[in-house]
Structure 1
């Protein structure tokens, strides 16, 4: 049965009951948390990709992606407030819709985290190589800094930064809150400087034609730009530490996304209005997809370089309008800040694997902890190998799109879970309740579906291929070894070293945390 094997929500919530979180965050702190989590990778890396898909119409794409994120975040916040434990959408789905759905969500989250880390690695490589070339005059052959889909052979810098981050994670080196705050400040300062310099000199004529590839192009760019908002769920997971969450959570979520959307639109306007953002077409006037050898060839044939051809769009824009030093600063900011994003993506991936392994759905050795460093070294190394391979051979746009497919699936599943739980368990305590749930959740589900179908055909095919592989793994291995399926319920996270406890016999209504699944 597709919705069978529900992991008892009360057993999961036992973790939350054992920790007392101080409610100290107000609307302002939540908004700042959201801005810090969102602004970064996507806007630095994907501006050129969005321009190739939508031209100046990418400004509308930012609004569409931001709106879908907002309604999905409101649904996410209710689940995060009720189930404030590790596992994210995977745990929520397990508690509401059963093991098979939870497995597919966890399997999709691999696309979100691991492939997103690969995308950021490729974006970092573009800025690093541009920085080296423009400041030291060292020209590295394209074959060594781009993958085969992008006109090269292998992206060695992207592979190297992923390997370095993997080594740091194995050793247990994590960025502190203070270091993270500094890196967030650097990113925001760099983008603010870009806006201040470019907006006063933009030319309105650069905005026409506004949508050269029609609304389909704007939708496709929105599906890619969704990557620029990844991280907004950090606000949702802070629900347990929020004062008056019913009032402050929507303010923090909507406020941070609104500010980020406006910021992104100003950056996009600065690019469009100064250097233009029209797509590059093939010899016969055909539309070329970003990150393909055909686009690379078309770019190399141009007498005047275009922003869609740049791997460091913002730094390139500043240099093109006569601000080489500011271009240097923006490039340096990206080089400094992006590795921390790779680290957090890979950390999130290993955490999802760790929880799934502890539930018996993945081999037990995935959750082994290093005797010296006390980190899940096996799964960290495996994740690092895959991230390095993704970064070495695939272009940033393709990786971002594939990552988005997994994220959109997970957020749609959470939105469905909120609706289901409102009906099946209406009396459960909810520190935050999604406003107008019967409107908000369906809009979130429809928005995720809309962005999903707006992704490229190969991306959608790859997602479904990945899903089929996931089903094969589940039915051939995970289903028979699942702790819930074997009548075991994992103990709370705080007691993770203890053995799983048996589910009480059916009818034992006096046993705490028991629910007939």
Structure 2
């Protein structure tokens, strides 16, 4: 039975010891990886989308999304400290709920990371093209700066940046983390400067009306701006490359999430109070959908009339705010910081996806060759190259549009499964050592479940439909290959490193009430 194919936690840990990645990351590097993954497109770009959905109420949207991430992070922390291996939610699900659901979680994570990496690549391309034009007077033809859906032929800058980041990941985790630390510093300095310059200009009147689109708009804003938090779970995918993961992974998860939430609230308050964030309405008074052609046309009409460009219309929201309130030079620096820093987000998304592929192939659900580790760089080079090429192609031919919304569906599903898994494991294996225990788990985990479901149902319909369609494709792949070729299906259980030359051991039968010592196990 496919639902009975549960990989024991001891086997998962043995697999990691036998064929592990190089452990080189400490708590500071993990926290920086988390901050680098979180702070990026969400706050630099999606602030405009949040303003259109929720107006000033986007501050509540940030709090809702951050809360859901916080309770999910606590569940992640318990499982990742117990199972310090690559694979994140996929690995945890395999150990608790079985192979089929684990495959579906891994498949959803592939969607999350791939779409997010492509979206950020396209967002970076916009900053790059604008920077060349404004500072050097170099104009990249529109045909080669946009995909077909955006009126071009191919987005060459997006293609190039995705391939460059892929190369960086190939040469090693330590090198990637070092570059990421520099980029994280740039982003933190830029956001701190924005807060310092915008707060003295706060005007309480700009917060009124606070929730112009009502509670529904705030919830939709939370579901969309959830993308601004995507990436913190990439810390847990790096567990197998972490020194002392039982201690450092929870520090990296919760620390990065806390830092980013504070920044988001302060930046949102500065943007609203200094400039305003009321949604754009049609001539008939209807609130327009973010990313829609109707909103784009209305924005063009407003700008052509000589009125100020609304925050919801801007492709560089934070830089636009500073320029509008008289800090043009600092606004350009914010734009430059985003241009320099967004590649770190691409890096972490690619990092997470390659590690998901790595562990799925190591379990036999995908061809084993994908899990090959480079003898010099100590990275899964084959799957990294394959992933990078596909992300680059997607970035070259698809618009940023609603990619953020699409990636959220996969993310929320993974968080949902982790929250269920931590409860099930408390019942199935209560005696197992837990270096980090989720506090009030029977409250925290259900809150995470409800929060994930609620945000998923608040997504636009098109984004909601992506998950079941992608999941259906995944089921076909699983039953054509992984169902028969997985290690568990073939009766193979991996062994410890010092037994690596021994023949594979069969999977032991599940214990029952008649098994000696069962009650003590």
Q: What TM-score comes out, normalization by structure 2 length?
A: 0.87
| 2:442 matched residue in structure 1 | 438
| 1:66 matched residue in structure 2 | 66
Unaligned runs of 5+ in 1: none
1:490 shift after superposition:
2.9
1:355 shift after superposition:
1.2
1:98 shift after superposition:
0.4
Secondary structure in structure 2 of the residue aligned to 1:6: coil
| 2:219 matched residue in structure 1 | 219
| 1:486 matched residue in structure 2 | 490
> For 1:8 and 1:97, how far apart are their aligned partners in 2?
11
> For 1:352 and 1:378, how far apart are their aligned partners in 2?
13
Is 1:411 equivalent to 2:415 in the alignment?
yes
| 1:135 matched residue in structure 2 | 135
| 1:472 matched residue in structure 2 | 476
Unaligned runs of 5+ in 2: 513-517
| 1:200 matched residue in structure 2 | 200
* Mean Cα deviation higher: 250-259 or 422-431: 250-259
| 1:329 matched residue in structure 2 | 333
Secondary structure in structure 1 of the residue aligned to 2:319: helix
Q: In the superposition, relative to structure 1, how do residues 498 and 278 fare at CA in structure 2: closer, same or farther (>3 Å)?
A: farther
1:254 shift after superposition:
5.7
| 2:317 matched residue in structure 1 | 313
| 1:338 matched residue in structure 2 | 342
Any conservation in 2 of the 1:52–1:289 contact (CA below 8 Å)? yes
> For 1:126 and 1:83, how far apart are their aligned partners in 2?
40
> For 1:46 and 1:117, how far apart are their aligned partners in 2?
15
Q: In the superposition, relative to structure 1, how do residues 500 and 297 fare at CA in structure 2: closer, same or farther (>3 Å)?
A: farther
Structure 1 residues 325-404: aligned runs within 5 Å: 325-368=329-372, 375-396=379-400, 398-404=402-408
> For 1:218 and 1:388, how far apart are their aligned partners in 2?
33
1:31 shift after superposition:
7.4
Is 1:45 equivalent to 2:49 in the alignment?
no
Once the two structures are superposed, residues 34-57 of structure 1 have per-residue CA deviations (whole angstroms, 9 ceiling, x without a partner) of 656543342112111111111111
Secondary structure in structure 1 of the residue aligned to 2:158: helix
1:176 shift after superposition:
4.9
Any conservation in 2 of the 1:112–1:406 contact (CA below 8 Å)? yes
Any conservation in 2 of the 1:50–1:225 contact (CA below 8 Å)? yes
1:142 shift after superposition:
4.7
Is 1:503 equivalent to 2:506 in the alignment?
yes
Q: In the superposition, relative to structure 1, how do residues 385 and 292 fare at CA in structure 2: closer, same or farther (>3 Å)?
A: farther
Q: In the superposition, relative to structure 1, how do residues 500 and 399 fare at CA in structure 2: closer, same or farther (>3 Å)?
A: farther
Give RMSD over aligned pairs.
Answer: 3.5
Q: In the superposition, relative to structure 1, how do residues 130 and 174 fare at CA in structure 2: closer, same or farther (>3 Å)?
A: farther
Structure 1 residues 3-18: aligned runs within 5 Å: 3-14=3-14
1:17 shift after superposition:
7.4
Structure 1 residues 57-96: aligned runs within 5 Å: 57-96=57-96
1:443 shift after superposition:
0.5
Any conservation in 1 of the 2:234–2:352 contact (CA below 8 Å)? no
Number of aligned residue pairs: 506
1:178 shift after superposition:
4.0
Is 1:425 equivalent to 2:432 in the alignment?
no
| 2:300 matched residue in structure 1 | 300
